[in-house]
Amino acid sequence: MSKKIVVLGAGTGGTIISNNLRRHLPDEWEITVIDRDNEHVYQPGMLFVPFDIQKVSTLTKPRKKYILPGVNFVIDEITRIDPEKREVKTNNQTFSYDFLVISTGCKIVPEENDGLMDAMGENAFTFYSLEGAELLRKKLKEFDGGKLVLNIAELPFKCPVAPIEFVFLADWYFKKRGIRNKVEIELVTPLNGAFTKPKASAVFGESAKEKNITITPKFELSEVNGKEKYIESIQGDRVTYDVLVSIPTTIGDEVISDSGIDDGIGYVPTHLNTLQALKHERIYVIGDATNVPTSKAGSVAHYEADVVVFNIMAEIHGIKPEEIYDGHSTCFIVYSKGTSSLIDFNYKIEPLPGKFPLPHMGPFSLLNETKANWYGKLGFEWLYWNVLLAGRHLGMPPTLVMAGKEVG
Ligand SMILES: Cc1cc2nc3c(=O)[nH]c(=O)nc-3n(C[C@H](O)[C@H](O)[C@H](O)COP(=O)(O)OP(=O)(O)OC[C@H]3O[C@@H](n4cnc5c(N)ncnc54)[C@H](O)[C@@H]3O)c2cc1C
C-alpha cells in the first residue's frame, strides 16, 4: 500500500505542516512538498520596508534550508489537482497521494483593479510584494508633503491588520522626518472601520483619531485614476491623493480554480473546524487558501497545521477527524517603531483586553500599546525562522485560551 502525503505550497503553512508531519509519522510515510520556487519570503517584514526599518535583502531565505531532510522538496509549478484520481500534476510530474494538504496561499492581482496598473510606480504603490515595498520606500523618502491614501480594494485580503499598521507607521515616520504637519493620512476601506472585528476596530479607530488619521469606511473601489490622482467608489464617491498605497484585489492561486475546486474566487471551500475540503475526501486546507472566516495570517496557518496533523493522524488510525479548529488568530499591531498592540481572537470571541500567553502576567498586553509588544513583534521573526517553520511547538494549544483575558 502506498503511503504518500503531498503538500501543495512551501510557504508558511506548507513548510510548517510538512515538517510537523515528518516529526509525527514513521519513515514508511513519504512526504512531498511542492513549490514553484526556492525563495521563502518573511511577509510580515514587507510592512517595515517602506519606512526603512527593515531591508528587502533580509526577508528572503531558501525554502529548502527550512524543510527537514526527510521531506521530499520539489520545485515545480502545480498545474492541476484531481481529487477523483487522487493525483496532482505539475509542469514535469504527476504525484499520487493518500492525503493532500493544500497550502497554496493567495496573491494580489492589481491588474484586476481598473486603472491601477497605469498608476503603479508613478503615484500608486503596494507593499504587498518585495519589489513594491522597495519602490514605496524610495517614494516615501522623497515625499515632502501632501495626501497619503491607503486603499484596500476588496475583501478578503491578506493580513487584515497590515493597513492599520501601515498608516500608524506613516504617522511615526513623517513625525520622525519633521513633516507630519504637511502630510494628510487617510485609510480608505471597504470595511465598516479600521478592522474586521467591531470592538478592536473601535479601539484602533480611536488611536487613528489621536494620530490625526482619517478613516473612510464602506468604500468599494471602482477605479483608480492616476492622471487626476483620485480613487472612485462604486457609489461614485471620490478620494483624491498624492501617493496611493494600494492593497489590490486578492485571489487564491489559479491552480485551485483551474482544478474546479474553488468557491468562485480561488479559495477552497473548507470545513470551519476539521479543515477538510468540504467536497473532497482526504484533502485538507490550511492558511490563506481556505475560505474559512478568520484572518489570512501566518498565525492562523500555524494553528491550523496543528489541527490538520492531528486529523490526518486520526484518519490514518481509522478515526473520524475532530472538529477542533475554532478560527484562532493572533496578531501584533505595530503602532510606531517602538510600540505595538496585540490581539488574540477566534470565530466567535472578539479580541479582548488582558494578558497573553501567560495569564495575568503576560509577557504581552492585549489590545494595548506597549514596548514589550514591540519587542515581541521583533522577536517573532527569529521564532518564525527557527522554531515555527520547523513544525515545533510553543507549548500552546492551537485554539483560543481564555485564561488572562478580561471578559465583560
Ligand atoms: C505585508 C504583509 C504583512 C503580514 N504580516 C503578518 C503578521 O504580522 N502576522 C501574521 O500572522 N501574518 C502576516 N501576514 C500574512 C502571512 O504572511 C500569510 O498569511 C501567510 O504567509 C500565509 O501562509 P500560507 O502558507 O497560506 O501562504 P504562503 O506563505 O503565501 O505560501 C503559499 C505558497 O504556495 C506557493 N504556490 C501557490 N500556488 C502554486 C502553484 N500553482 N505552484 C507552485 N507553488 C505554488 C507559493 O509560491 C507560496 O510559496 C502578512 C502578509 C503581508 C503581505
The closest-lying atom of ligand 1 relative to the alpha carbon of residue 133 is 1
15, 43, 63: which to mutate for ligand 1, most atoms within 8 A of CB? 43
Give the Å distance between the CA of 106 and the centre of ligand 1.
7
Polymer length in residues for the chain: 408
CA dist., res. 340 & res. 355, Å (int): 14
What was the pLDDT predicted at 358? 80
Listed residue (296, 242, 240, 224) closest to 265, CA to CA? 296
Answer whether residue 2 shows pLDDT above 80. no
Q: What's the pLDDT tens digit per position in 289-308? A: 999 999 999 999 999 999 99
pLDDT band, residue 216 (cuts 50/70/90): very high
The closest-lying atom of ligand 1 relative to the alpha carbon of residue 9 is 34
Could you give phi then psi for residue 367, rounded to 5 degrees? 50, 40
Percent share of the chain, pLDDT over 70:
100
Using DSSP's 3-state secondary structure scheme, residue 47 falls into helix
Cα distances (angstroms) measured from residue 333 to each of 104, 240, 363: 25, 27, 16
Tell me the domains of the chain and their CATH numbers. Answer: 4-107+251-316 (3.50.50.60), 108-250 (3.50.50.60), 330-388 (no CATH)
Rounded to an integer, the average pLDDT of 103-126 is 98
Residue whose C-alpha cell reads 487626476 in the numeric block: 228
Nearest CA to ligand 1 atom 23: 12
Is 329 a pocket residue for ligand 1 (Cβ < 6 Å)? no
Rounded to an integer, the average pLDDT of 172-197 is 97
H helix runs in 153-262, sequence order:
162-176, 198-210, 254-258
Rounded to an integer, the average pLDDT of 153-177 is 98
Nearest CA to ligand 1 atom 7: 44
What was the pLDDT predicted at 359? 76
What was the pLDDT predicted at 1? 56
Is 340 a pocket residue for ligand 1 (Cβ < 6 Å)? no
Answer whether residue 89 shows pLDDT above 80. yes
Whole-prediction pTM value? 0.97
CA dist., res. 186 & res. 215, Å (int): 6
CA dist., res. 35 & res. 103, Å (int): 10
Rounded to an integer, the average pLDDT of 346-357 is 94
Give the CA angle between residues 384, 354, 336 to the nearest 5°. Answer: 55
Task: Name the region of 395 (left: φ>0; alpha: ψ -120 to 50; beta: rest).
Answer: left
Average pLDDT, the chain: 96
